[in-house]
Amino acid sequence: MTQHYLTVDSLSAGELLAVLDLADELKADRRWREDLHGCSIGMIFEKPSTRTRISFEVAIRELGGHPVVLNTGDLQLGRGETIEDTARVLSRYLSAVVVRTFAQSPLELLAGAGSIPVINALTDFSHPCQVLADLQTIREYKGHLSGLKLAYLGDGNNVAHSLLRAGALTGMHVAVASPPGYEPIPQVVGVAERHAREHGGTVTVTADPLEAAADADVVYTDVWASMGQEVEHDARLLLFRPYQVGSQVMQAARPDAIVLHCLPAHRDEEIAASVLDGDQSVVWTQAENRLHTQKALLLHLLTGGEDQRDGAQTAHLPADAPVRTPSRW
């Protein structure tokens, strides 16, 4: 069966950790590989992107595959062709498709109608590729995940949703502080609480930024107005001000806490410039790790994560390709 990556819990906890282990190996050995030789991978972006788009394109090339970058305006989707028909056609050409869009439902339709893995490169609901890099970065600096406290301050948005699920799946104590009315949606908090019970972590949602930050090992924030919410920017500045990651928040956290931000950042809005550019910030490593974790994710979805450097097997190719094909096709 085709495995997709639509939300963090498209992967089991075990698969998530295996992808992180593979990402560590790929980071340690950045040599170009041929695992995805013969694979064309579509990338459809309906919103701007620096990190996700470039890191996926580079990841596909470094694994020997061929990225096919598309804007929805270039596709017949923009003229009314259905998502399901698009999925059926893409499945005849491509080995996987990476999509950044607004709602989560088009991804589910693509996944349901097509026969290739669909990867969520950000929706309004979730950003599961981002949190793979976040977890790799936390492990890199802290050595482990389970038992750590992660404090997320700000909007209960796509990034917060994915962090809640990923943190809980890996046994972290995740505390989210958001202004009233901007909390993560209860359905996501409920799923995260279930994961936390199963994996030994906890989930806290509060309006008090210092409660969330208290003794945190990891302090995380994201923009206050996400893509598509630009008109709300000025109103949100006032409301979110107490949630800025600044010196008071950093004093509440552990002295050895690291600071993460998915980027792009707005200095002196959601994060003080002195914190973003300070010693505890690891955001540039976090951005680099988008590349390694997405390479690992592609290998997991397309080859089962096996090392294919000896050329024993070729990763997913369209059905009639004249090579030995894995059983999922």
Between CA 167 and CA 164 the distance in angstroms is 5
Residue least distant from ligand NVA (Cβ): 226
User: Within the chain, where are the H helices?
Assistant: 13-28, 51-62, 83-93, 105-113, 128-142, 158-169, 186-199, 209-213, 233-240, 247-252, 273-276, 283-303
Residue 174 CB, shortest distance to ligand NVA, in Å, is 17
Query: Within a 10 A sphere around the Cβ of 261, how many other Cβ atoms?
Result: 25
Which residues inside 100-159 make contact with ligand CP, applying CB under 6 A?
Answer: 122, 130
Residue 223 binds to ligand NVA (criterion: CB under 6 A): yes
Of 217, 222, 244, 286, catalytic = 222
Q: Is 100 one of the catalytic residues?
A: yes
Query: Within a 10 A sphere around the Cβ of 1, how many other Cβ atoms?
Result: 6
DSSP tag of 116: S
Between CA 193 and CA 169 the distance in angstroms is 9
Residue 89 CB, shortest distance to ligand CP, in Å, is 26
Q: Is 104 one of the catalytic residues?
A: no
Vertex 83, ends 290 and 314: CA angle to 5°? 50
User: What DSSP string describes 120-186?
Assistant: ES--SS--HHHHHHHHHHHHHHHS--TT-EEEEES--SHHHHHHHHHHHHTT-EEEEE--TT-SPPH
Q: From the list ligand CP, ligand NVA, none, which binds 222 (C-beta under 5 to 8 Å, kind-based)?
A: ligand NVA
Q: Is 262 one of the catalytic residues?
A: yes
The residue among 100 and 300 lying less far from ligand NVA, judged by its C-beta, is 100
Partners of residue 23 on adjacent β-strands: none
Query: Pattern 32-51, binding to ligand CP, x per CB under 6 A?
Result: -----------------xxx
Q: Packing angle between helix 158-169 and helix 186-199, nearest 10 degrees?
A: 20
Residue 159 binds to ligand NVA (criterion: CB under 6 A): yes
Residue 286 binds to ligand NVA (criterion: CB under 6 A): no
Residue 237 binds to ligand CP (criterion: CB under 6 A): no
Residue 286 binds to ligand CP (criterion: CB under 6 A): no
Please provide the size of the chain in residues: 329
Of 4, 9, 262, 308, catalytic = 262
Query: Pattern 63-102, binding to ligand NVA, x per CB under 6 A?
Result: ----------------------------------------
Q: Is 61 one of the catalytic residues?
A: no
Residue 263 binds to ligand CP (criterion: CB under 6 A): yes
260 sits in which H/E element: strand 258-261
Residues 6+ apart with CB under 8 A from 45: 53, 69, 70, 71, 99, 100, 121
Q: Is 130 one of the catalytic residues?
A: yes
Q: Is 127 one of the catalytic residues?
A: yes
Residue 120 binds to ligand NVA (criterion: CB under 6 A): no
Residue 8 binds to ligand CP (criterion: CB under 6 A): no
Cα distances (Å, whole numbers) of residue 196 to 46, 87, 216, 227: 33, 35, 17, 29
Residue 163 binds to ligand CP (criterion: CB under 6 A): no
Residue 223 binds to ligand CP (criterion: CB under 6 A): no
Of 51, 53, 127, 292, catalytic = 127
Selected from 222, 253, 275, 308, the binder of ligand NVA by CB under 6 A is 222
Residue 226 CB, shortest distance to ligand CP, in Å, is 10
Residue 109 CB, shortest distance to ligand CP, in Å, is 22
Residues annotated as catalytic are 100, 127, 130, 222, 262, 290
Give the binding site for ligand NVA (CB under 6 A).
122, 157-159, 222-223, 226-227, 262
Which positions touch ligand CP (CB under 6 A)?
49-52, 122, 130, 262-263
